[in-house]
Amino acid sequence: MIDKLLSLSIKTKITFTVFLIILFLSGAIIYTIKSSLAKNLENSSVKIVQELVAVNEASIIKSILEDDYWSIYNRLKSLAKLNIIQDIGVVDTQKRVIAHTNTKEYRIYDKFNLKAFDGIKIALKSDNIQFGTCVVKINKNALKALFKDMDKQIYLYIIALALLSFAMAYFISERILKRLNILSYNAKCIQEGKLEKLQQYKSIEKDEITKFQDSMEIILKQLNDALASEQKLKSFYHKILQGLNEFIVITSREFAIKFQNDHSYKEIILENGALKRELLESIQTSLSKEIKRSVITVQNGDELLYLYTIIEEIGDMYAISFTDITKLKTLEEKEQLANSFELIGEISASVVHEIKNYLQPVKLLMEQEDLDREDYQRITAIIAKADTLVNDFLSIGRPIDKNLSESIEINMAIEQQLFLFTANLKRKNITLIKKYTDGLKVNIANYDFELIVANLLKNAIEASFENGTIEIKTEQKDGFKCFTIANEGKPIDKDIIESISKPFFTTKKRGSGLGLYTTYKIVYLYGGYIEVHSSTHGTSFSIYLP
Amino acid sequence: MEVVSVFYKLFSKGGQKLTTLLQKLTIIFIITVNILYASEYKNRVVLGLTGVVLKEDIATIVKLKRYLEKKSHLNIAFKFVKSYAEIKTLLLNESIDFAYICGSTYVDLEPSKKVELLALPTVDAKPFYQSLVVVQRDANYTSLYDLKGKIFAISDPESNSGSLVPKYQIYKKGYDFSNFFKKVVVTYDHGESIEAVRLGFVDGASVDSVVYKAYVTKNPNKAKELKVINSFGEYPIPPFVIREDVKSSIKQELKKAMLSMASDKEGKAILKTLAIDGFIAPNNISYKKIKAIKEYLNQKESPNDR
């Protein structure tokens, strides 16, 4: 019930509340006045009756003395013509009725119970002798009847007041509602962004709603300005986005496209207004590995496109940019191929030159007629060196087989290699500092990973000072799994760092110069990279693998 | 009083001021001549009436007065008194000239030879009437005797129909009237007695049949609340009597006017209201029947008899 009442419109609520308040108030006031008047009138009536009886007292007493009951009755009847008297009678000193206008209840000589009588009792006396008692019942209905006309006027007055209050309440609520409706309409316009439809209303009232309306108007104006400038800013950024060489797509977390700039690759990347399936899968895979920068390939007819993809999380959206690096890739591949030929030429020349260098003393020894035991040992050593050279050379040419990749726990694999280098570490009394991050895994062939770790450990131990420290750290960094091996030792020159990845480059007396080159090659082929830092404290190699 | 008032106004300071003495004298002369002329022009007679007879219908009485004045060229004045006892006194001391009295009153006056019958009303062409016992229509009483121990109204104690007849009937039946009723209320008026019954102030009343008929004619709705349970007699009707010593010319004028009423439209209308057919000359009428009743009652109520 209360819910229903509360759900009524403001107009109805205000109108009826004011209406009822005025109706009840006026009713109560009028009722009070009427009650008071009625009481006063009753008191006055009693006085009037007493005076009337007093006026007729002498005649009634005379009739009592004359035994003329009919005259008494007639006199009483005359008195009873007065509306306020319901019944009037005379009782003699023996408390017997001698005349009464209510002839049905009070017959002549009936006993009258004066004590129990609740009407007016007036002693009929002359010279202090009582001859009887006049008993009068006031007609309360007649008193009420006096109010009958007044009642009509009262009800008319109440109705008029109520109607007036109803009209007033209706007018007030109408005025309030009209203004509230405008406020509501304006709020809706803002909600729907239809600012041009906002209504202005100058109300003559100077009440709270007007103040609220004025404040609202200012807020709306400010909001309007803010929205306009936001719109300008939006179109400014839109223009910038449109002008970019990259194809930018802004999506929800569910990859529903919210924005895209105009780009020729729109049709290659999008399909039916959404990211192409294979593209989406690649992006989702990258995201699941927390890789935000990756190169994704897309088939465009016969052509394979290389897209450098950057995924940025902006609030609850993804901003994905696609940069076409196909040309760059082609160039890179061509350069690599050229480099490879050049490299193979260089390597071949080097290997041949090396082998020739090895064979030169062997040839000189072989030309001797008598070869002693030392000469044979020397020849064997030279051949062993040549064998190492050939083996290393062969390992350069060994292709990477990604099919052999397996999930390798980095920390564990490093530990295994450390175990193999225990003796080397002890020899130089090197202290190991391990800063491992648990649970890091990479997909790589076990042999390849061992080779990387072994090469780096070997170099680190060799470059390390006696009693120095080697720090090994594993971590997740920039979407890559990273492990760093840092040793305390002489810093490496800048020029040397630039050549460090070149084959046959070595600063060691007995190195082939192919170890680091092979490491670089493996890491690169698995999609990773190597960072080298060298300072007065030492040198660190960081391997980043996807 | 009117003359005095005019004089007072003429000469008082507060009265209307007339400018000349001549004007004042002229007015005094005209008034004096007028009064003298009027007294010379008409003989003045006083009609005595009691409330017993049609006091309620004063308008009809006024009409009757005017009619008789017109027809008899007499100046008629009223004198209303409460009882027949009073009217008897007024006739005997010549305060009134003629009167409408009860048969019993006439019986009392007859021996004095101071009054004579003037005219008799007739009902159904006869100068007789009845004494009726009236009760409320819803009452269970079937006769006067059922009202024993009840409240009873009589009109004038001297009225034949209103008092003597019921008394006579009760005595005749073997009851003692003095304690037959719980209370006897005297109304001095048949009409009042009827009203007393109707209003329930009394349980029954004895009334004149002519008055009851007039009451029924005038108040048909009220009459529906009443019923007659006894009708006693035929009794000689109450007569109009006139003092013996009134001028015979006046007597003749009055008689002539009364006897011719029934043959006159205006007179007929008045008679109808009075519930009588007309008036006849008082020939061959005897009030012996009433006289007998009175004697019987006197005997019953004399202290010696008790």
For the segment B76-89, the average pLDDT, to the nearest whole number, is 90
Q: Which residues of A122-150 are buried (b: 16+ CB within 10 A; e: fewer)?
A: bebeeeeeebbbbbbbbbeeebeebeeee
| CATH topology for the B128-236+295-301 domain | D-Maltodextrin-Binding Protein; domain 2 (3.40.190)
> Which segment of A308-312, A506-510, B120-124, B239-243 scores lowest on mean pLDDT?
A506-510
In chain B, which residue's Cα lies nearest the Cα of A107? B201
Residues of B in contact with A69 (CB under 8 A): 183, 185, 201
**Residue where the block lists tokens 């009343």:** B205
CA distance from start to end of chain B: 54
Q: Beta A431-435 vs A469-477: how paired, if at all?
A: parallel
Tell me which residue of B67, B53, B116 sits closest to B242, measured CA to CA.
B116
Ordered DSSP codes for A159-225: HHHHHHHHHHHHHHHHHHHHHHHHHHHHHHHHHHT-GGG------S--SHHHHHHHHHHHHHHHHHH
Q: Which alpha helices (DSSP H) does chain B contain, by range?
A: 2-11, 21-41, 58-72, 84-92, 103-109, 165-172, 177-180, 190-198, 209-218, 220-223, 248-259, 265-273, 288-301
Read off the pLDDT of each residue in B48-57 and give the average, rounded to a whole number: 69
Rounded to whole angstroms, the Cα distance separating A507 from A509 reads 7
How would you write A461-505 as a 3-class SS string? HHHECCCCEEEEEEEEECCEEEEEEEEEECCCCHHHHHHCCCCCC
CB neighbours of B85 closer than 8 A, spacing ≥ 6? Answer: B156, B158
> How many Å lie between the alpha carbon of A43 and the closest alpha carbon of chain B?
30
User: Quick check: A69 contacting B, CB < 8 Å?
Assistant: yes
| B185/A108 Cβ within 8 A | yes
Is the fold of A244-324 the same as that of A400-545?
Answer: no
Record: fold of A400-545: Heat Shock Protein 90 (3.30.565)
C-alpha distances in Å from residue A429, one per residue of A47, A295, A472, B85: 135, 44, 16, 173
CA B127 to chain centre: 16
Domain boundaries, chain A: 7-144, 202-240, 244-324, 325-397, 400-545
Contact B203, B181 (CB under 8 A): no
Q: What percent of chain B has pLDDT over 70?
A: 83
Phi and psi, residue B206, nearest 5°: -105, 125
Q: Are A443 and A404 in contact (CB under 8 A)?
A: no
| B182, B185, B200 member nearest A70 (Cβ) | B185
Q: What is the pLDDT of residue B261?
A: 92
- What is the average per-residue pLDDT within B254-260? 92
In this complex, the residue of B182, B187, B200 whose CB is nearest that of residue A70 is: B187
Query: Are B183 and A108 an interchain contact pair (Cβ–Cβ within 8 Å)?
Result: yes
What gap in Å lies between CA A131 and CA A460, rounded to an integer? 149
Q: Which of A209, A83, A64 is nearest to A140 (CA)?
A: A83
CA distances from A318 to A64, A201, B146 (A): 120, 44, 122
ipTM over 0.90: no
Cα–Cα distance between B249 and B256 in angstroms, integer? Answer: 10
CB contact under 8 Å between B201 and A68, yes or no, is: no
Closest to B144 in 3D by CA, of B165, B126, B160, B129: B165
Nearest CA in chain B to A63: B186
Q: Which of A68, A69, A104 sits opposite B200 (nearest CB)?
A: A104
- pLDDT tens digits in sequence order for chain A, 546 residues long: 778 877 877 778 877 887 788 778 878 888 888 788 878 888 888 898 899 999 999 999 999 998 899 999 999 999 998 888 999 999 999 999 999 999 999 999 999 999 999 899 999 998 889 999 999 998 877 777 777 777 777 778 878 877 887 888 888 888 888 888 888 888 888 778 777 777 777 777 777 777 887 887 788 778 778 878 888 888 888 888 777 778 888 898 888 888 888 887 888 888 888 888 888 888 888 888 888 888 888 877 778 888 888 888 888 888 888 888 888 887 877 776 666 666 666 667 667 777 777 777 777 777 777 778 888 887 888 787 777 777 767 666 566 677 778 889 999 989 988 888 888 888 889 998 999 999 889 989 888 888 888 888 888 888 888 888 999 999 988 888 999 999 888 888 777 777 776 665 666 655 556 677 778 888 888 888 888 888 888 889 999 998
Tell me whether residue A299 is exposed, middle or buried, using C-beta atoms within 10 angstroms of its C-beta: 0 to 12, 13 to 18, 19 or more. exposed
Tokens encoding B38? 């009027």
Name the token pair of B34. Answer: 């007028």
Q: Does domain A7-144 have CATH number 3.30.420.40?
A: no
Q: Which residues of B touch A109 (CB under 8 A)?
A: 151, 182-183
B203–chain A nearest CA distance, Å = 10
Do residues A164 and A104 make contact, with C-beta atoms less than 8 angstroms apart? no
> Are A73 and B196 in contact (CB < 8 Å)?
yes
**Cβ distance B208 to B162 under 8 Å?**
yes
Three-class DSSP category at A320: strand
Neighbour count for residue A121 (Cβ, 10 Å) = 13
Note whether A92 contacts B: Cβ–Cβ < 8 A.
no
Instruction: Give CA–CA dist B129/A139, Å, rounded.
Output: 44
Model confidence at B158: pLDDT above 50: yes
pTM: 0.50
Task: Identify the bridge partners of residue A538 per DSSP, sorted by sequence position.
Answer: A488, A535
User: What residue of A is the nearest CA neighbor of B201?
Assistant: A103
Q: Does B184 touch chain A (CB under 8 A)?
A: no
Can you spell out the DSSP letters for B21-90? HHHHHHHHHHHHHHHHHHHHHSEEEEEEEETTTTGGGHHHHHHHHHHHHHHH-EEEEEEEES-HHHHHHH
Whether residue A70 and residue B182 make contact (CB cut-off 8 A), yes or no, is: no
Determine the residue type at A437. T
Q: How far is Cα of residue A223 from the mean position of the Cα atoms in its chain? A: 21
List the end-to-end C-alpha distance of chain A, in Å, as a whole number: 68
pLDDT for the residue numbered A45: 84
Q: Which range in A211-225, B38-52, B95-109 is most confidently predicted, on average pLDDT?
A: B95-109
Considering the domain delimited by B42-123+237-284, tell me its CATH architecture: 3-Layer(aba) Sandwich (3.40)
Residue of A nearest to B155 (CA): A70
Backbone angles phi, psi at B68, to 5 degrees: -65, -40
Residue A320 or B304, more confident: A320
CB pairs under 8 A between A and B: 32
Question: If you ran DSSP here, which 8-state letter would residue B274 be given?
Answer: T
Q: Is B186's CB within 8 Å of A103's CB?
A: no
C-alpha–C-alpha distance, residues A214 and A216, integer Å = 5
pLDDT of residue B3: 45
Q: For residue A110, give the chain B residue with the closest CA.
A: B182
A325-397 belongs to which CATH class?
mainly alpha
Q: Which of B82, B201, B207 best probes binding to A when mutated, by most A CB atoms within 10 angstroms?
A: B201
Residues A438, A407 contacting (CB under 8 angstroms): no
Interchain contact, A68 vs B199, CB within 8 Å? no
Beta bridge pairs of residue A543: A483, A530
Domain boundaries defined on chain B: 2-31, 42-123+237-284, 128-236+295-301
B201, A70: Cβ pair inside 8 Å?
A: yes
pLDDT at B59: 84
Question: In CATH, what number does A244-324 get?
Answer: 3.30.450.20
Nearest residue of A to residue B152, measured between CA atoms: A108
DSSP code of B121?
E
Distance from CA of residue A476 to its chain's centroid?
Answer: 31
Quote the CA–CA distance of B30 and B221 in Å, as a whole number.
52
B200 shares contact with chain A (CB less than 8 Å):
yes
